[in-house]
A and B are shown apart, each in its own frame.
Chain A
């Protein structure tokens, strides 16, 4: 598997992770066995960490609340960023966790069933951690774009159906 074939495959999966092996083979010019092997390799190498749909929860009947929490921490000899991160990442409610530059340390995205759920989670599980010195919670009100996908109605294809 060449690096460019691997890249091409990755680009195709980024466009749509649900493309079938057959279609991926057609798009990349690899045979299906090679596609399977390359995907297995991307997974084994930790390049591809998972696949999930981009869900617009506002279009469902389910109540989902998303909060962005800014978390500040104070480190000591025994506790580094990685230790705090490991502690936070273990919770299912933590959807995304990044160490960021700027005014705070961790950017944490929490996904819960209700505002009360999310608030309780932060109050009970995040804020009490010894390293955590401060949390600032922002509840998401509307999602316009996620993982590169816009949630608007999109542009219609208004091209002439046949043109030179």
Chain B
């Protein structure tokens, strides 16, 4: 008699991305446009700060909420950059990646049977996270005709008025969609009218190419009902250091901290030192990486246009979300493309039903590889 897994775990299927990972691992000439993390290394100053902290022997736990100096730096940074005002003392919690922050939010705000509306296509962790927390997922579709922005109409049609929590992520993984203030305003009004708690995953906030970032938490009536999740993984190319943070009203953040203090104690100390340095001295590096992503984005979208592949002009993160250019499913197309030409992309259906018919193409890859990959794609389509 082995160990029986809990019903919650059994209810969650393994990620659909796994199959493509395994296929891609089988050959050595694969160019992957299927990677969800930066191709840049962490800025050198942040790396040396991590090493310095190790050499100084700073290897113990920090405060549960994270180092005070880091929380203060985060508070200053988001204040200056995104017009968000959070008290470093009790409104900011440093977590082991933004992923932990999202998971904490579900566990802290969701009662068994509660409904969590998830704007889809969405990052793969939200729905399982809701399930693990005992909640029910209510998918709220976003559409290509709206450039994959979340709309009030979709919320209404999906019945999100009865939900307790809304999870949204803009700039979006997998679509690259962004939302300006004018797009966020109706969502905020809907949330206020229907008393929704909003988990706003803004991990890609720094990576936007055509307009500035607006956080939904800055809109009227939203601060008290929103937790904003962000982190260092994407903007500072620090994925492996596992460092994120969440900001929100004190009761919410302290509630999340209650789970965090038992489950995690504190986020990795070495990573916190790297993050502090990143905030203090790596703006130039972020600007350089952002400019490089923008060049690649333009390149990729131009190539899609040349190949007759329909793709809306994604304005954030490092993903394009083109339509499948054949009459196949995204899954079948991605598998054929990988087997025939060694180019890995991720079918949109991995990110929820609304992603079917699309492909997530990451441009967190050097231009040489992007050129070769799109040349192979051209050959494949011929």
Contact B34 A26 (CB under 8 A): no
Interface residue A42 (Cβ < 8 Å from any Cβ of B): no
The chain B residue with its CB closest to the CB of A30 is B298
Choose among B30, B34, B298 the residue with the greatest number of A CB atoms under 10 Å from its CB.
Answer: B298
**Once bound together, how far apart are the Cα atoms of A25 and B24, in whole Å?**
31
The chain A residue with its CB closest to the CB of B365 is A157
Contact A11 B291 (CB under 8 A): yes
Number of A-B residue pairs, CB cutoff 8 Å, is: 66
Contact B296 A27 (CB under 8 A): yes
Chain A residues in 8 Å Cβ range of B292: 15
Contact B17 A163 (CB under 8 A): yes
Interface residue A161 (Cβ < 8 Å from any Cβ of B): yes
Contact A26 B303 (CB under 8 A): yes
Chain B residues in 8 Å Cβ range of A137: none
Interface residue B259 (Cβ < 8 Å from any Cβ of A): no
Interface residue B55 (Cβ < 8 Å from any Cβ of A): no
Smallest Cβ distance from B312 to chain A, in angstroms? Answer: 16
Smallest Cβ distance from B361 to chain A, in angstroms? Answer: 12
Contact with A163, one of B21, B295, B299 (Cβ below 8 angstroms): B21
Interface residue A1 (Cβ < 8 Å from any Cβ of B): no
Contact A23 B371 (CB under 8 A): yes
Chain B residues in 8 Å Cβ range of A16: 367
Interface residue A159 (Cβ < 8 Å from any Cβ of B): yes
A1-58 residues with Cβ-Cβ distance < 8 A to B are: 8, 11-12, 15-16, 19, 23, 25-29
Contact with B15, one of A19, A27, A159, A164 (Cβ below 8 angstroms): A164
Interface residue A100 (Cβ < 8 Å from any Cβ of B): no
Chain A residues in 8 Å Cβ range of B123: 164
**Once bound together, how far apart are the Cα atoms of A8 and B209, in whole Å?**
13
Smallest Cβ distance from B162 to chain A, in angstroms? Answer: 29
The chain B residue with its CB closest to the CB of A19 is B367
Interface residue A140 (Cβ < 8 Å from any Cβ of B): no
The chain A residue with its CB closest to the CB of B360 is A164
Interface residue A141 (Cβ < 8 Å from any Cβ of B): no
Contact B367 A163 (CB under 8 A): no
Contact A159 B367 (CB under 8 A): no
Contact B299 A23 (CB under 8 A): yes
Interface residue A82 (Cβ < 8 Å from any Cβ of B): no
Contact B295 A160 (CB under 8 A): no
Contact with B298, one of A29, A163, A164 (Cβ below 8 angstroms): A29
Smallest Cβ distance from B118 to chain A, in angstroms? Answer: 15
Interface residue B346 (Cβ < 8 Å from any Cβ of A): yes
Contact A27 B295 (CB under 8 A): yes
Asked if A157 meets B295 with Cβ closer than 8 Å, knowing A25-B302, A27-B367, the reply is no
Chain A residues in 8 Å Cβ range of B20: 162
Choose among A26, A162, A163 the residue with the greatest number of B CB atoms under 10 Å from its CB.
Answer: A162
Chain B residues in 8 Å Cβ range of A15: 292, 295, 367
Chain B residues in 8 Å Cβ range of A19: 367
Interface residue B39 (Cβ < 8 Å from any Cβ of A): yes
The chain B residue with its CB closest to the CB of A27 is B295
The chain B residue with its CB closest to the CB of A12 is B295
Interface residue B5 (Cβ < 8 Å from any Cβ of A): no
Chain A residues in 8 Å Cβ range of B108: none
Contact with A26, one of B15, B30, B298 (Cβ below 8 angstroms): B298
Chain A residues in 8 Å Cβ range of B30: 161
Q: B-facing mask of A55-70, CB < 8 A → 1, else 0?
A: 0000000000000000
Interface residue A155 (Cβ < 8 Å from any Cβ of B): yes
Q: A-facing mask of B35-60, CB < 8 A → 1, else 0?
A: 11101010000000000000000000
Smallest Cβ distance from A9 to chain B, in angstroms? Answer: 10
Contact B17 A164 (CB under 8 A): yes
**Once bound together, how far apart are the Cα atoms of A29 and B302, in whole Å?**
8
Asked if A11 meets B295 with Cβ closer than 8 Å, knowing A162-B346, A163-B36, the reply is yes
Contact A161 B344 (CB under 8 A): yes
Interface residue B284 (Cβ < 8 Å from any Cβ of A): no
Extra contacts, 15 of them, besides A23-B299, A27-B298, A163-B37 (Cβ < 8 A), are: A8-B295, A19-B367, A26-B303, A27-B302, A29-B298, A161-B21, A161-B35, A162-B17, A162-B20, A162-B344, A163-B17, A163-B34, A163-B36, A164-B17, A164-B125
30 A-B interface contacts by CB (under 8 A): A8-B295, A11-B295, A19-B367, A23-B367, A23-B371, A25-B302, A26-B302, A27-B298, A27-B302, A27-B367, A29-B302, A155-B41, A157-B39, A159-B35, A159-B39, A160-B35, A161-B25, A161-B30, A162-B17, A162-B20, A162-B21, A162-B24, A162-B346, A163-B35, A163-B36, A163-B37, A164-B17, A164-B36, A164-B123, A164-B173
